Amino acid sequence: MKAVVFEKGQLLVKDVPTPKLKSGEVLVAIKAAGLNRRDLYTPDRLGNNSEALILGSDAAGVVEAIGEGVTDWKIGDEVIINPSLRWYEQSDFPPEGFEILSLPDNGTFAEKIAIPAEQLEKKPSHLTLEEAAVIGISPLTGYRALFTKGQIQAGQTVFIPGAGSGVATFLIQMAKNVGARVIVSSRSEEKRQAALKIGADLAVDTNGDWLKELENETIDLVIESVGRATFNRSLSVLKKGGKIVVFGATTEDVVDFDLRQFFYGQYTLLGTTMGSREEFRACIDHLEKYDTHPILDRSFSMDEAQNALDYLKENRQFGKIVLTIS
């Protein structure tokens, strides 16, 4: 079968052996796969002497074969892959044994994948296979940040720096679904306008004066993923007693902030990443209940995988990027 692999310092599209089913596994013919920033970082973690590893964590496809002991799925079922491995019940942090699909296991940028049956969910009927291919890392991360950790409520205001990311586009839609007010930021006027079109109430320039532009807003929750470049500015516009949830750091990881200002402000700082199967299923239910569709920026063929990753690295997208597999 054909796959996108990272091998000895190079990204390659090559033929690799079709995986053999083990007991409890399902063979899925992948139709489309979603890109994540994880796919940019995995090669750095592997280094230049690594054996071939198939990249990719998100995908949707059709069940092609069923391993011994599998009773929940049948050939022909349309499914999405839950990339959050071995984290079943909602908990404060992942259990021992938790991993994200694609490291150290082979991932989804391939024509087929053999995966434990428990990692599959039924494709929502209102989504195409291409849309369903991005129901993985981004919406799960956003759902846990917004609801489990942030506990957003109708009538509250959430501020999301970095409006163009895949997670941000899900956050905007999910927050609006439950009646929250949504404010976003972006350096790009085009992305600010796009955010407004999908439901954001206000979009400010990342390089602008947030204190002035947001002086009449009461921000209950900030969901941060930018890191050092915006963390302190985000904290400065959060209401006293508000929450800031952090799930990423696309700029520098290390942040200095004023502890005295923080505890006087009675702020709550929460970290999160990914989520449990329980939350993944709740996220899917939410998308179905509100007939929410992912925002897809652009699709690339498998042969264009390097172009797709370059496009993601340059932050040119608004929403999710998809690899069409077959």
Q: Is the per-residue pLDDT at 326 higher than 90?
A: no
Measuring CA to CA, which residue among 140, 144, 109 is closest to residue 2?
A: 109
CATH of the domain at 157: 3.40.50.720
Given a cut of 90, is residue 255 above it in pLDDT?
no
If you average pLDDT over residues 246-254, what whole number do you get? 86
Domain identity same for 92 and 119: yes
Q: Is residue 266 included in any domain, yes or no?
A: yes
Q: What is the pLDDT of residue 250?
A: 81
How many domains are contained in the chain? 2
Which 3 state secondary structure label does DSSP give 324?
strand
Percent of the chain with pLDDT over 70: 100
Does some domain include residue 286?
A: no
Query: What is the reported pLDDT for 58?
Result: 98
Taking only the tens place, the pLDDT of each residue in 205-246 is 999 999 999 999 999 999 999 888 889 999 999 999 999 999
248 vs 113, residue with greater confidence:
113
Domain that holds residue 74: 2-135+294-324
Regarding whether 267 and 230 lie in a shared domain, the answer is yes
In this prediction, residues 92-107 reach a mean pLDDT of 95
The answer on 40 and 116 residing in a single domain is: yes
Residue 96: pLDDT band with limits 50, 70, 90: very high
Same domain for 144 and 118: no
Give a yes or no: residue 77 inside a domain: yes
In a domain, 187, yes or no: yes
Q: Three-class SS of residue 140?
A: helix
Q: Where are the alpha helices (DSSP H) in the chain?
A: 38-46, 129-132, 137-143, 166-177, 189-197, 210-213, 231-237, 259-264, 277-289, 305-313
Average pLDDT, the chain: 96
What is residue 228's predicted lDDT score, i.e. its pLDDT? 86
> Positive or negative CA dihedral for 51, 56, 57, 62?
negative
Query: Is residue 276 in some structural domain?
Result: no
Any domain includes 288:
no
One domain for residues 51 and 119:
yes
Q: Which residues pair with 247 in a beta bridge?
A: none
Whole-angstrom CA distances from 298 to 106, 185, 230, 301, 323 are: 24, 22, 27, 10, 9
- The DSSP secondary structure of 271-285, one letter per residue, reads E--S--HHHHHHHHH
- What's the whole-number mean pLDDT along residues 280-296? 98
- The string of pLDDT tens digits covering residues 4-51 is 999 999 999 999 999 999 999 999 999 999 999 999 999 888 888 788
Residue range 183-209: mean pLDDT, rounded: 97
What pLDDT score does 47 carry?
81
Task: Read off the pLDDT of each residue in 69-73 and give the average, rounded to a whole number.
Answer: 96
CA 314 vs CA 30, 96, 311, 317, 322: distances in Å = 26, 34, 5, 8, 16
pLDDT of residue 19: 96
- 113 and 130 in a single domain? The answer is yes
Instruction: Tell me the average pLDDT across 65-92.
Output: 97
**200 and 246 both lie in a single domain:** yes
The C-alpha atoms of residue 311 and residue 264 are separated, in whole angstroms, by 42
Q: Is the pTM higher than 0.85?
A: yes
* Closest CA relative to residue 122, chosen from 85, 82, 87, 88: 82
The answer on 160 and 107 residing in a single domain is no
Regarding whether 219 and 306 lie in a shared domain, the answer is: no
* The residue to which tokens 């049956």 are assigned: 117
